Amino acid sequence: MNRFLFFLLYLFAFNSVAQQTGYVDFKTVKALLSLVPEKQTVKGFVTYEFKILKPVDSIFIDAINMEFQNIYLNETEISYLNDGKKLWLKYDFKNDAIYNLKFNYIAVPKKAMYFIDWDFEEGNKQIWTQGQGKYTSNWLPSIDDMNDKIEFDLSIEFDKNYEVIANGKLIDKQTSNTTITWHYDMQQPMASYLVALAIGKYDKKTEFSKSGIPLEMYFYPEDASKFEPTYRYTEQLFNFLEEEIGVPYPWQNYKQVPVKDFLYAGMENTSTTIFSDSFVIDSIAFVDKNYVNVNAHELAHQWFGDLVTETSGSHHWLQEGFATYYALLAEKDVFGDDYYYWQLFDYAQELLEQDKTEQSTSLLDPKSSSTTFYKKGAWVLHMLREQVGDKAFKTAVKNYLLKHQFKNVETDDFISEVEKASGQDLGEFVKIWLESKSFLYENCINSLTKSSKEISQMFELDEELKFSSFSIEDGLNRYWDKAKSSRVRAYLLLKNEINSSHSSIIKKAFASKDIKIRQALAQNLQQISSDFKESYELLLNDPSYTTIESALYNLCVNFPGIRLKYLSKTKDIQGFNNKNIRMLWIALLLNTQEGEDLNAQEFLNELISYTSPKYDSETRQTAFSYLAAMHVFTETVIVNLINATKHHNWQFKASSKELLDFLKQDEKYKNLITKLEEKPN
């Protein structure tokens, strides 16, 4: 048999029957990287140190579609096999021996590393990574198995006009005429999916935790005014979690970096959270959509996920459930107890709806939904803490983290620590909360009503309204008057259909100074009688983009004859980063008769411009939606839509493809689309 073919068959057999972690332990990776954004290429020189645990005659490194040169083992050139997925090294590796491996490589990553806005002159040029899953091996030869934890030290050479951020502590910068080489040092091991880098035009502010950990917060220079509302409460969140968890923050520093078109809300790369720049907000947006929960969630992962890491997807709740739960605890410290209980109430409603669809799964099922891992996981921890008590729970969490730090864990590792700390047998708890597919909604609601006077009163008033002999309006009024908090009143407005006939309750809501009550009113009161016109108009002054957007739309629909009055009042408001109010404003103007006299084409061109790759995917999708509703598909729109079908964000890509396929059904557009698709980039 051909020796090469024999080697391939051997490697296939090895890979299919054995976990490499039983044979080899990778200790350190030191990588010197040079990135060429115009070619979307990574060039690297990498040094590995590893220990052989059992005699073996081949090992591998995960490396997707890479080219290799100059591969040396202990300073001796060695033969290798590159199968496009792994770099295989055939050698007589000795038990308990330490080896040093070096080589050069080139990668053109198709995923995990994203080159943003390098295709055109304008835009926010960035490079960032997202490795969760088994993706880091697309740009850095590494080990996809999360059970092999390695100390990664990255050095990155790049254009001196950009900031380069990576895991660990920046220990040196070497400057040449055109580039800077940034040297980052990690002192502890981590799973490969947590390796990260981000490159862009950034400024930075640094604060320090009570324990002296540097908290480095990055922002775009043009967003300096948004720094405070974006990172509001960061130091408080950090100090709370470190104290609540009871284990010191395990890394040298903590960095947070916003990026354009990120795939998720945020990602907890070790010491370096990368998050979506849609959370970079001003003080008004803070009321509607802030970064606090994501901030706390990714920070909690630095312990739950980064310090201790699941062995497999069957134990994913040990990361996401814990991060969700501890984020809520941190928000509780900021916003108060009842905020915490209302969030748990919302989670319970979502889990109940999931149960009704009969798609619920066990918390230990690796194929469970995010809702299960995150929100059911958080509920399990809340209920477990109630059962065993604060002291035992906190002791167990601390012991669990310290015992398994920088290692991998399973659910039994945590449960056994809780049993030791509490003296309780948790077999039944595990059975009904972790192994069962169903969600124990009634148990959770009973817990909430015992803990929160607000939620307890809300349920009491719901029952009273449900079985009341009073008229609907009288019942709603009694509900409102008895409610002792704005949250309960806002819930009343959102849950019940409020219309202009409920005049007394509407007057009370309009008179409220509470933003959330007025927001609920704007969203739920869509038909506006002339009696409430002046009061409703005042909602356009509220410091809430959500309120203004709903109020502007509803006023223009209900009073089309004076639409220009409302448009004039809101003409300078952009809204969130996705320009939600600005685009609504343009759409309303273009659907106004007088709009033709007010530079309609200019505003239409502005709306079309928001479909450009210059803007983030959320802004582009909003623009496409408005243009589709207006059935405006110019060649520019179609070109940008075709571009969107190649975007790295799968949700934006899918919605764009769906719209493009819809257009292809119309002969008017089909030929044009085909012609444009065939046109070279």
144 backbone dihedrals φ, ψ, rounded to 5°: -65, -25
Q: How distant, in Å, are the alpha carbons of 101, 113, 260, 263, 534 from that of 132?
A: 25, 12, 18, 11, 51
**What CATH fold (topology level) applies to the domain 202-302?**
Neutral Protease; domain 2 (1.10.390)
* CATH number 2.60.40.1730 given to 1-192: yes
Burial 410-423 (b: 16+ CB within 10 A, else e): bbebbbbbbbebbe
Among candidate residues 582, 668, 594, 598, the one with its CA nearest the CA of residue 631: 668
- Please name the residue that has the structure tokens 């954004």: 37
Which helix (H) or strand (E) is 100 found in, with range?
strand 98-107
Domain locations in the chain? 1-192, 202-302, 308-451
Q: What six digits make up the tokens of 41?
A: 């290429």
Q: Which amino acid is at 220?
A: Y
What is the DSSP track for 225-289?
A: GGHHHHSTTHHHHHHHHHHHH-S---SS-EEEEEETT-SSSEE--TTEEEEEGGG---HHHHHHS
Beta carbons of 73 and 99 less than 8 angstroms apart: yes
Dump pLDDT digits (tens) for 64-104: 999 999 999 999 999 999 999 999 999 999 999 999 999 99
Count of alpha carbons within 13 angstroms of residue 661, beta-carbon side: 7
Beta carbons of 642 and 676 less than 8 angstroms apart: yes
445-453 contacts, C-beta under 8 A, 24 or more apart = 445/348, 447/382, 447/383, 447/386, 448/341, 448/344, 448/345, 448/348, 451/337, 451/341, 452/337, 452/338, 452/341, 452/342, 453/484
Dump pLDDT digits (tens) for 402-429: 999 999 999 999 999 999 999 999 999 9
What's the sign of the alpha-carbon dihedral 348, 349, 351, 355? Answer: positive
Which helix (H) or strand (E) is 216 found in, with range?
strand 214-219
Q: Which amino acid is at 79?
A: S
Dump pLDDT digits (tens) for 160-187: 999 999 999 999 999 999 999 999 999 9
Note the pTM of the prediction, 2 decimals: 0.95
Facing residues of 29 across strands? 48, 152
Among candidate residues 616, 668, 660, the one with its CA nearest the CA of residue 639: 660
Distance CA 660, CA 112 (A): 26
Task: Output the pLDDT for position 594.
Answer: 67
- Please state whether beta strands 80-82 and 203-208 pair in parallel, antiparallel, or not at all (unpaired): unpaired
Facing residues of 616 across strands? none
Beta carbons of 345 and 319 less than 8 angstroms apart: no
Total residues found in the chain within this entry: 681
Confidence band for 15, pLDDT divided at 50, 70 and 90: very low
Facing residues of 204 across strands? 218
CA 596 vs. chain centroid, Å, equals 42
Dump pLDDT digits (tens) for 255-275: 999 999 999 999 999 999 999
Distance CA 554, CA 560 (A): 10
More confident residue, 5 or 622: 622
Dump pLDDT digits (tens) for 525-561: 989 999 999 999 999 999 999 999 999 999 999 999 9
| Mean pLDDT rounded to a whole number for the chain | 93
> Torsion angle of alpha carbons 531, 535, 536, 542, nearest 10°?
180
- ∠ CA 35-39-40 to the nearest 5 degrees? 60
308-451: same fold as 202-302? yes
665-674 contacts, C-beta under 8 A, 24 or more apart = 669/633, 669/638, 672/635, 672/638, 673/638, 673/642
Beta carbons of 257 and 198 less than 8 angstroms apart: yes
- Residue 21 gets which letter from DSSP? G
Beta carbons of 577 and 281 less than 8 angstroms apart: yes
Distance CA 399, CA 414 (A): 9
Answer whether residue 120 shows pLDDT above 90.
no
Mean pLDDT value across residues 95-123: 94
Dump pLDDT digits (tens) for 467-508: 777 778 888 889 999 998 999 999 988 888 888 788 899 999
Confidence band for 127, pLDDT divided at 50, 70 and 90: very high
Task: Output the pLDDT for position 360.
Answer: 81
Dump pLDDT digits (tens) for 589-598: 998 876 556 6
Task: Output the pLDDT for position 466.
Answer: 81
Answer whether residue 4 shows pLDDT above 90.
no
290 backbone dihedrals φ, ψ, rounded to 5°: -120, 175
Q: What six digits make up the tokens of 187?
A: 């002192």
Answer whether residue 154 shows pLDDT above 60.
yes
Task: Output the pLDDT for position 16.
Answer: 38
Among candidate residues 382, 492, 355, 388, the one with its CA nearest the CA of residue 444: 382
Superfamily for domain range 308-451: Neutral Protease Domain 2 (1.10.390.10)
Task: Output the pLDDT for position 249.
Answer: 98
